[in-house]
Structure 1
Amino acid sequence: MMKDISINPGSMTLRLAACLAALGMVTAEAQEYTTEQEDTEAVLAPDGFSPYAGRNFPQVPLWGDSHLHTMVSVDAGTMTRLTQEQAFRFARGEEVTTTHGLRAKLSRPLDWLVVSDHAEMYGLMPQLLAGDGQVLANEQGRLWYEALTSGDPQLAFDTAMEIVASLSDDTPPIDNPKAIKHAWEDYTALADSYNEPGIFSAIIGYEYTTEGANNLHRNVLFRDGRFRANQTLPFSQYDSKNPEDLWAYLADYEARTGGEVLAIAHNGNLSNGRMFSFNAYDGSELTEEIASLRARFEPLYEATQIKGDGEAHPFLSPDDEFADFDTWDAANLNGTEVKEPEMLAGEYAREALKRGLRIEQDLGVNPFKFGMVGATDAHTGMATAQEDNFFGKHSGVEPEPGRWEHVVIEAPDPDLTIYGWKQAAGGLGAVWARENTRAAIFDAMMRKETYATTGSRMLVRFFGGYDFTDEDTLSRLPADLGYAKGVPMGGNLSAAPDGEAPNFLFVALKDSISGNLDRIQIVKGWIDANGETQEKIYNAAWSGDRELDADGKLPEVGNTVDVANATWTNTIGAPELIGVWEDPDFDPAQPAFYYARVIEIPTPRWTAYEAKRFGIEMPDEVPMITTERAYTSPIWYTPAAE
């Protein structure tokens, strides 16, 4: 069923929410919140009139970035001079001055931010530049300080590159736990000072960076404030390069402190097949214990960011016309190992979700049962994910006429070198929560009540159940029905009633300053009768009067982009799409997952804005148009136990 509705966004209540009570045959495992509604029909309470009174589920969509670096990170600090405080101020909507003196501001503030500076030698660069006594007491620290402050630009640059290169060493060149502890406690105190419940959540976190070339990095997020976070220090590759040891470290932190913590794996498109391996880190057989640790501590996956999109790949999904989006697939992170086709299956979200179903059949645990978020991974101190406001990966090159051709990753093979235009201006993480607090956001992440976007702030809801009807799409309070009759994104469907197939209520509302909506698709993955994983993309709702062909494909929505002027018109597409879709290929004996993908109409890419602003021409290979999109967290279906 498909419905295309044009309405005044101000009258639309799309602030739906997450977690719902199990009703009938539908269960929502590991969901913290329940709705107080027991009837699926709107019934006026005897003690009230307002339809909003008594709603007992998350109703606030909160936008944020879980992956941002400042000068506190060793690599970012060799180029950017923006501090952690400036990062929080910028995310809250304040104007800042960039490293190169440009004025910068977001179009709209973020609701939450994780300043996730690298754990390795945490805080070293600010300490070096300030001549910190604890660092200068180390001979290597003194030599680096003298070089960086020598006044010789070339010597300073060479030294900065030497510092970055030292991150590949097995041991830190400056091993000073006291200096790290000082920098960490300064950061946690700063985060607490910028954390304003109900207004802005400054979430404490850091990045665990390991296997640098193969990019097996994780961002670690804390539910609590500094009093608990200060009872630990950032776990780094110098402690262990094995992510399994990180999970054990986080488990120990929770046991010791009573706090809560989670990790988010980076987009795996540069891991050369290692991010979602069938094996343990050391290549041995995966065990139930390791799978359980990953499932517990990594509820989310970073599906899109500056270094390319990680949802799907055209080699893995040849029938998906939207799979080839901001694709980085030539090599690993530093271009030292060429990527072979067989590596791709261990790198992308959709394939990982399919692998998780297979592993669960063998071990009884699904280590890849994750929700979706987007993030920037910017090393500028500024969380800028909007195409017309993109400041790039790092501060070595800020917006200027030649940055599109600047070398971002220099590989030994020139054909593997990554140039500036290849960067993606994304992404963002959306969280449906009860309120804007650290605890509420963390809990929503643990429930997987999240979705990723490539930078747009479209509002998206996705519910699964067995009782949704076309009439449900007429409600202006779809969350009430979604929670009363099903489970939200991140939830779990129980075994299907006899003769029933899952159906899904979905709704999306355009970003007020971005493109209209082209379509909503349902992506399904499952294990067939032969034990093989399969996938299929269904067009579930779309704009205009287009019709599906015999293969279920839609004609293109069109293109109104004026590249020369970096603009477009919303004369195509729809401001809102809402519908109910039932799985036509459902087999109750086959495990499956479903997630929604929302596609916008074409709009100008950041490269088009750059060409317009600086009056430059770029080669034909440089894309000038993008189609922003959102990926919801999946809903999983598990057959009844035999």
Structure 2
Amino acid sequence: MAMHLTLATALAVSLTLPALAQDTASADNAAGDLRGQPYSPNANRGFPTRVLFGDTHVHSALSADAGGGGTTLMPRDMYRFARGEQVTSNTGQPVMLERPFDFYMLTEHTDGMGVITDIKKGAPNIMADAQGKKFHEAFAKGGDDAKQASIDLIAQFSQGTLSQALLYQPGMPGYDNTWRDLVQAAEEFNDPHVFTAMIAYEWTSLTEGNNLHRNVIFRDGPERALQVVPFLMAPPMGSPDPRDLWKWMQSYEDKTGGDVLAIPHNPNLSNGIMFALNDTLNNNAPFDREYLQTRQQWEKLVEIGQTKGDSETHPMLSPTDEFAEYERWDWANLDVSEAKTPEMLATEMVRNTLKNGLAFEQSDGINPFKLGFVGGSDIHTGLTTQLDNNFFGAFTWMEPSKTRATSVAKGNADLGISYKGWQYATPGPTAVWATENTRAGIFDAMERREVYATTGPRITVRFFGGDFAADDIKHRELARIGYSKGVPMGGDLAGSDAPSFLVYALRDPIGANLDRIQIIKGWVDTNGETHEKIHDVVWAGDRTPGDDGKLPAVGNTVDLSIPSWTNDIGRAELGTVWTDPEFDPSQHAFYYARVIEIPTPRWTAYDAVRFDVDMPDEVKMITQERAYTSPIWYTPEG
């Protein structure tokens, strides 16, 4: 059953407690759920009531591939920007967010931490090294020379040919001082209950150009974080093997009593090794039980999308999914040293990985890929700009200009592969259902996977699995009903009866209306074969699915000449209770919700108008933004 609010009502409504119209009979039924409870619906409330939006993955000039490419914004500039202040971009343009972030995680690369500062200033130890001197001279020239030097630095690091002199290690002043300053900057800007600056870093593992990066997030403050230095990829003190990162994480918790988690990102640039079904770094050996348990312990989340493409699924894996084409990057690995082949997709796309996790659970009793969803930008300008009308690009060369969309970003002539600026996406935030805006509140929500990702807009989504009646969606206290009768996103279900799911979404107050909500189901049968199905469970308008089961498109109000759109189609909110009609209590399964907006102009459309340029036909100009909730898993009893 779809629900509709006028725009004025939608903006006034509580994000946790949507005011939904209901008839008298439904109101009586809903009231029955509260009989015997305190009159105040807020009394004794222990569940999360706040949705907080933030970035879990962003870089300042202190990361070599950012600072080398012309980024000048430093950590304190970024925090000021993230909390809503206007700053001057790396190319001298004024820039400000439409709304501040609630939290922010600066994730500088671990390897070479501090080296870019010395390269750019021409420190004696750098100038004494042939590679170091060459990079200094290229970065000093700026422009295309600096851009190419930044690309070359990444490629040489990923292929293991970067000079040891440029691989700063813990114990070196440049490394240790940089880490201390990053922690101190986070502490200076951390304002509990107002703006949370988490301490974090990016473990930068690359194996022959294949991305295995993880963002490591601390629950803790400087008193614990400064007892350690980040774990590296490069030897002698580092390793490219995730097993060794997990050992470092265990050691950190044992030493400090703190808490950390790791978030894999950009599996779409791993060429199939991020979620491989065997140990690709150890002679393709089968995973042992310890590996499966350890991975499940430390990696509870995955970055499902960012500026370098969406990693939910792919048309070759999900041929019946009409929305599987979204911001697709499928041509190569991170440094474009190896072309992607179709068989690589099955062990890097997230939906298929969730299905593979179910197969592991059925065969081994452990699911190593039990992953909730977060967003992240991976922006290297220090400026997390997530809406299409305010996109300042992924790198400094991509800040607003007439040519950024059609400029070649990276390529490999020998492989015949290249991609352009327009193929970068506006990145989305992580949304957290938290009890409070603090490091502890945000981290704990992430650990229990009560988080979701969007591709930019601040869509509000609630998703519960349990035993719900159809009239529950009409209740004014959806969160109270959800927690009392089921589990939230990220949770687990068991039992013999078909679960029902309560899902509700409210559009971004300054954004576009909603087209539909889908529930994606994945499962494994008794033969170990995995399956998936997309269910349109509630939608705007009077559309009826066709004979093929597909829902007609919502329409399109985009005017590219402005560019803009109107909310004459779609709905401000959608919600329903849905029960799986094909439920089998003997099968392991997962369910997650995907909320789709109506069409809106892409960032390239704003560039076309503001710079008065004609975009080539290949350039995408219209998008349909979305949100992905973390899954709910069903496990058969016994």
TM norm structure 1: 0.91
Instruction: Kindly indicate whether the alpha-carbon contact (under 8 Å) linking 2:119 and 2:136 is maintained by their aligned counterparts in 1.
Output: no
Contact map agreement 1:16 1:60 (CA 8 A) in 2 = no
In the TM superposition, residue 528 of structure 1 has moved relative to its aligned partner by 1.8
1:312-343: per-residue Cα shift (whole Å, max 9, x none)? 11100001101111111112222222211111
Paired residues for 1:153-552 under 5 Å = 163-168=153-158, 169=160, 172-174=164-166, 175-177=168-170, 178=172, 179-211=174-206, 213-238=209-234, 239-280=238-279, 281-282=281-282, 283-413=284-414, 415-466=416-467, 468-496=468-496, 500-552=497-549
Give the stretch that moved more between structures: 501-510 or 327-336.
327-336
1:12 alignment partner in structure 2: 13
Name which of 147, 154, 172 aligns with 2:137: 147
Q: Residues 444, 154 of structure 1: CA spacing in aligned structure 2 closer, same or farther, 3 A cutoff?
A: closer
Give yes or no for contact 1:71–1:81 (8 Å, CA) kept in 2. yes
Change (3 A) 1:278 1:131: same
Contact kept, 8 Å, 1:287 with 1:363, in 2: the verdict is: no
**Residues 402, 228 of structure 1: alpha-carbon distance in 2 compared, 3 angstrom cutoff:** same
The answer for the alignment partner of 1:75 in structure 2 is 65
Q: Are residues 150 and 472 of structure 1, via their aligned partners in 2, closer, same or farther at CA, if it must alter by over 3 Å? A: closer
How far 1:629 moved relative to its partner? Answer: 0.2
Q: CA shift at 1:53, angstroms?
A: 2.2
Whether contact under 8 Å (1:561, 1:568) holds in the other structure is yes
Residue by residue, what CA displacement relative to the aligned partner does 1:167-219 show, whole Å, maximum 9, x if unpaired? 23367323453221111001101101110000111011111111262111111
Give the match for residue 89 of structure 1: 80
Query: 93-102 or 407-416, which moves further after superposition?
Result: 407-416
Contact 1:494–1:637 (8 Å) recurs in 2:
yes
- Give yes or no for contact 1:166–1:173 (8 Å, CA) kept in 2: no
Residue 355 of structure 1 and its aligned partner are, at CA, apart by 0.2
Secondary structure of the residue aligned to 2:109 is: coil
Q: Which digits, 9 at most, give the CA deviation of each residue in 1:95-140, with x for residues without a partner?
A: 111111001111000111111010011122224445668x669756
Contact 2:362 2:528 in 1 (8 A): no
Letter in 2 for 1:181: D
SS of residue in 2 equivalent to 1:379 = coil
Aligned partner of residue 522 in structure 1, secondary structure: strand
Aligned mates of 1:268, 1:218 — CA distance in 2: 10
User: 8 Å contact 1:40–1:481 — kept in the other structure?
Assistant: no
Among candidates 556, 569, 574, match of residue 553 of structure 2: 556
SS in 2 for 1:221: strand
Preserved contact between residue 93 and residue 106 of structure 1 (Cα < 8 Å): yes
Is the CA contact (8 Å cut-off) linking 2:17 and 2:476 kept in structure 1?
no
1:267, CA displacement in angstroms? 2.4
Q: Structure 1 303/422 Cα, relative in aligned 2: closer, same or farther at 3 Å? A: same
Give the partner amino acid of 2:598: I
Answer whether contact 2:114 2:175 (CA < 8 A) is retained.
yes
Unaligned segments of structure 2, at least 5 residues: 19-30
Spell out the pairing of 1:40-79 with structure 2 (5 A cutoff): 41-43=33-35, 45=37, 49-78=39-68, 79=70
Deviations 1:458-502 (A, max 9, x none): 000000002x11211111210000000000000000223xxx211
1:251 Cα offset (Å): 1.1
Bigger shift: residues 443-452 or 159-168: 159-168
Structure 2 residue identity aligned to 1:120: D
> What is the letter of the counterpart of residue 116 of structure 2?
M
Aligned equivalents of 1:457, 1:442: Cα separation in 2: 20
Conserved in 1, the CA contact under 8 Å of 2:473 and 2:576?
Answer: yes
Q: Check 1:340–1:102 CA distance in 2 against 1; reply closer, same or farther (3 A cut).
A: same
Cα 1:243–1:11 change in 2 (3 A) is same
User: Contact (CA 8 Å) 1:507, 1:579: kept in 2 or not?
Assistant: yes
- Across the two proteins, how many residue pairs are aligned to each other? 613
> Which residue pairs with 2:99 in the alignment?
108
SS at match of 2:585: coil
Stretch deviating more after TM superposition (232-241 or 573-582): 232-241
Give the superposed CA RMSD: 2.2
1:600 aligns with 2:594: no
1:38-77 per-residue CA deviation (whole Å, 9 max, x = no partner) reads: x98113656xx43222211111101011110111101111
Match of 1:409, SS state, is: strand
Q: 1:270 to 1:492 in 2, by over 3 A?
A: same
Structure 1, unaligned runs of 5 or more = 18-38
Q: Which amino acid aligns with 2:34?
A: A
Q: Distance in 1 between matches of 2:155 and 2:599?
A: 40
Q: Hey, what's the Cα distance between the residues in 2 that align with 1:54 and 1:552? A: 44
**1:577 alignment partner in structure 2:** 574
Give, as a single letter, the amino acid of the residue that structure 1 aligns with 2:483.
Answer: Y
CA shift digits 1:294-313 (9 cap, x unpaired): 11111110001111111111
2:114 counterpart of 1:117? no
Name the stretch that deviates more: 446-455 or 277-286.
277-286
After superposition, the Cα gap between the structure-2 partners of 1:256 and 1:40, relative to the gap in structure 1 and judged at 3 Å, is farther
The one-letter code matched in structure 2 to 1:538 is H
**Deviation per CA, 1:263-320, whole angstroms, max 9, x where unpaired?**
1101211211111111123211011111111111111100011111111111000011
Once the two structures are TM-superposed, the CA of residue 414 in structure 1 deviates from its matched residue by 6.8
| 1:405 counterpart SS class | coil
**Secondary structure of the equivalent of 1:564?**
coil
Q: Give 2:117's aligned residue.
A: 126
Q: Considering Cα pairs closer than 8 Å and 6+ residues apart, tell me whether 1 or 2 has the greater RCO.
A: 1
Instruction: Say if 1:12 and 1:476, in contact at 8 Å, map to a contact too.
Output: no
**Alpha-carbon separation, structure 2, partners of 1:155 and 1:553:** 50
Identity rate of aligned residues, in percent?
48
Does residue 89 of structure 2 align to residue 98 of structure 1?
yes
Q: How far is the alpha carbon of 1:413 from its aligned partner?
A: 4.4
State the SS of the aligned residue for 1:246: helix
Could you tell me how far 1:551 is from its partner in structure 2?
3.4
Residues 67 and 115 of structure 1 are in contact (CA less than 8 Å); yes or no, is this contact kept in structure 2? yes
Q: Deviations for 1:523-564, whole angstroms, at most 9, x for unmatched residues?
A: 000012332101000000000111122333211100000112
Distance of 2:135 and 2:600 partners within structure 1: 46
- My pick for the range that moved more, 206-215 or 167-176, is 167-176
Q: Tell me if structure 2 keeps the 8 A contact 1:4–1:541.
A: no
Give the TM-score of the pair, scaled to structure 2.
0.92
Q: Secondary structure at the match of 1:66?
A: strand
Secondary structure of 1:64's aligned partner: strand
Contact 1:5 1:577 in 2 (8 A): no
SS state of the match for residue 396, structure 1? Answer: helix
Q: Distance in 1 between matches of 2:146 and 2:616?
A: 34
The reply to whether residue 566 of structure 1 matches residue 560 of structure 2 is no
Cα displacement string for residues 142-175 of structure 1 (whole angstroms, at most 9, x for unaligned residues): 8469636877988867765654444233673234
Alignment partners' CA distance in 1, 2:56 and 2:483: 27
User: SS at 2:398's partner residue?
Assistant: coil
Q: Secondary structure at the match of 2:561?
A: helix
* Farther-moved stretch of structure 1 (137-146 vs 598-607): 137-146
Closer, same or farther: CA 604–575 of 1 in aligned 2, 3 Å: same
The separation in 2 between residues aligned to 1:586 and 1:456, in whole angstroms, is 33
